[in-house]
């Protein structure tokens, strides 16, 4: 059932919809609340290019103005239901809110994601994770919309072909995840909460929290650690415009002074060249450049 009034905004300021806090505007943005809303967007505005945006935590807005339509899942499309240890969740929910929901129901498995900023949909697309845990380990199946076929389908975890920070959905960016089913385990609430806080403490001790950023910029290349490479090449603090490689962790780029997307991309390009020249290694960007 479609929403009576789907939220639609013209010339939306995207500053608060990307974690780098880059200043950008899109011509039109939709905030769907149902699958029928999503279908209506494509049926009614089929001629325009569509850009899908979740929580905005793993993206780089490369332009200051977009003639395209944005379909945004941030605070909307976030209904969740629980049946025993099985969660059925819409893709717009934040991983923070989802981990709190699991805690409130004595369900373990999402502790790691308590402090990994992302929507559920975004976490599935990139197979988010850390410390050897990944979202794929919890998934049962995923529901998605294919705008080319104008159909909704479901795919089992085994058929998504998850890899390190990659998936079937990463390779097919036109597909829109609408829902996912996660299988958790019953556990003690105090133990769950303790693990959540320990994970957060470890991450905050290592990662820059003083300036806007979008997490790890590069995928880890085989045989190397990105942070160590930045140390070796003395790239920490390397600056272009308002963007720089964090002094706290070389795997992060921060917006310390009204950076633009071009500033961030220039920092990335320089780091890639330095690593390539020294080690012959191609640093692959983990973040999605729009």
On whether both 188 and 122 belong to a single domain, the answer is yes
Q: Is residue 232 part of a domain?
A: yes
Q: Is residue 219 part of a domain?
A: no
pLDDT value at residue 96:
92
On whether both 60 and 92 belong to a single domain, the answer is no
Q: Is residue 211 part of a domain?
A: no
The one-digit pLDDT tens for each residue of the chain (290 residues) are 666 679 999 999 999 999 999 999 999 999 999 999 999 999 999 888 999 999 999 899 999 999 999 999 988 999 999 999 999 999 999 999 999 999 999 999 999 888 888 899 999 988 887 777 889 999 999 999 999 999 999 999 999 887 776 788 888 888 999 999 999 999 999 999 999 999 888 888 888 988 999 999 999 999 999 999 999 999 999 999 999 999 999 999 999 999 999 999 999 999 999 999 999 999 999 999 99
Q: What is the pTM of this model?
A: 0.89
Q: Is residue 33 part of a domain?
A: yes
**Is 165 in the active site?**
yes
**Is 171 in the active site?**
no
CA-derived radius of gyration, the chain: 19
Tokens representing 234?
Answer: 């003395």
pLDDT value at residue 194:
95
On whether both 110 and 168 belong to a single domain, the answer is yes
Q: Is residue 1 part of a domain?
A: no
Domain residues for the domain of 133 are 80-205
On whether both 200 and 265 belong to a single domain, the answer is no
On whether both 131 and 189 belong to a single domain, the answer is yes
Question: What's 23's domain CATH number?
Answer: 3.30.43.10
pLDDT value at residue 171:
86
**Options 94, 216, 246, 288, the catalytic residue:** 216
Q: Is residue 173 part of a domain?
A: yes
On whether both 186 and 159 belong to a single domain, the answer is yes
Q: Is residue 216 part of a domain?
A: no
Phi, psi (rounded to 5 degrees) for 55 = -75, -10
On whether both 58 and 91 belong to a single domain, the answer is no
Q: Distance between CA 201 and CA 139 in Å, rounded?
A: 26
**Options 21, 28, 165, 288, the catalytic residue:** 165
Q: Distance between CA 21 and CA 121 in Å, rounded?
A: 21
Question: What's 247's domain CATH number?
Answer: 3.90.78.10
**Is 203 in the active site?**
no
Counted domains in the chain: 3
Q: Is residue 98 part of a domain?
A: yes
On whether both 30 and 67 belong to a single domain, the answer is yes
pLDDT value at residue 3:
60
On whether both 40 and 87 belong to a single domain, the answer is no
| Of the residues 175, 205, 235, the one at which a domain ends | 205
pLDDT value at residue 268:
98
pLDDT value at residue 21:
98
N-terminal to C-terminal alpha carbon distance within the chain: 31
| Of the residues 46, 72, 98, the one at which a domain ends | 72
Long-range contacts of 217-223 (CB under 8 A, 24+ apart): 217/251, 217/252, 217/253, 217/268, 217/285, 217/286, 217/287, 218/251, 218/271, 218/283, 218/284, 218/285, 218/286, 219/164, 219/165, 219/283, 219/284, 219/285, 219/286, 220/164, 221/281, 221/282, 221/283, 221/284
**Options 119, 246, 286, 288, the catalytic residue:** 286
Question: What's 158's domain CATH number?
Answer: 3.30.465.10
pLDDT value at residue 269:
98
On whether both 101 and 66 belong to a single domain, the answer is no
How is the chain split among helix, strand and coil, in percent rounded to 5? 30, 30, 40
**77 alpha-carbon distance from chain centroid:** 16
| Of the residues 171, 205, 239, the one at which a domain ends | 205
On whether both 272 and 243 belong to a single domain, the answer is yes
């Amino acid at each position: 059932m479609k929403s009576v009034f789907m939220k639609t905004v013209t010339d939306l300021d995207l500053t608060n919809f990307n974690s780098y806090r880059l200043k950008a505007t899109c011509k039109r943005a939709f905030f769907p609340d149902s699958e029928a809303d999503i279908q209506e967007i494509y049926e009614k505005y089929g001629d325009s290019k569509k850009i899908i945006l979740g929580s905005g935590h793993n993206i780089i807005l490369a332009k200051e103005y977009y003639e395209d339509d944005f379909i945004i899942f941030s605070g909307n499309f976030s209904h969740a239901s629980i049946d025993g240890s099985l969660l059925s969740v819409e893709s717009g929910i934040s991983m923070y809110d989802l981990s709190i929901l699991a805690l409130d129901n004595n369900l373990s498995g999402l502790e790691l994601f308590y402090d990994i900023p992302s929507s559920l949909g975004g976490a599935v697309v990139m197979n988010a994770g850390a410390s050897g845990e990944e979202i794929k380990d919890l998934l049962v199946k995923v529901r998605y919309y294919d705008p080319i076929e104008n159909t909704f389908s479901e795919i089992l975890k085994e058929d998504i072909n998850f890899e390190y920070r990659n998936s079937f959905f990463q390779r097919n960016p036109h597909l829109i995840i609408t829902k996912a089913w996660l299988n958790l385990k019953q556990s003690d609430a105090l133990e769950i909460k303790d693990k959540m806080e320990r994970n957060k403490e470890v991450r905050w001790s290592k990662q820059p929290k003083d300036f806007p950023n979008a997490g790890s910029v590069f995928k880890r290349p085989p045989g190397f650690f990105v942070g160590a490479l930045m140390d070796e090449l003395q790239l920490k603090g390397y600056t272009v415009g308002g963007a720089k490689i964090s002094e706290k962790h070389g795997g992060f780029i921060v917006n310390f002074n009204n950076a633009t997307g071009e500033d961030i991309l220039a920092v990335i390009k320089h780091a890639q060249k330095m690593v390539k020249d020294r080690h012959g290694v191609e640093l692959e960007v983990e973040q999605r450049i729009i």
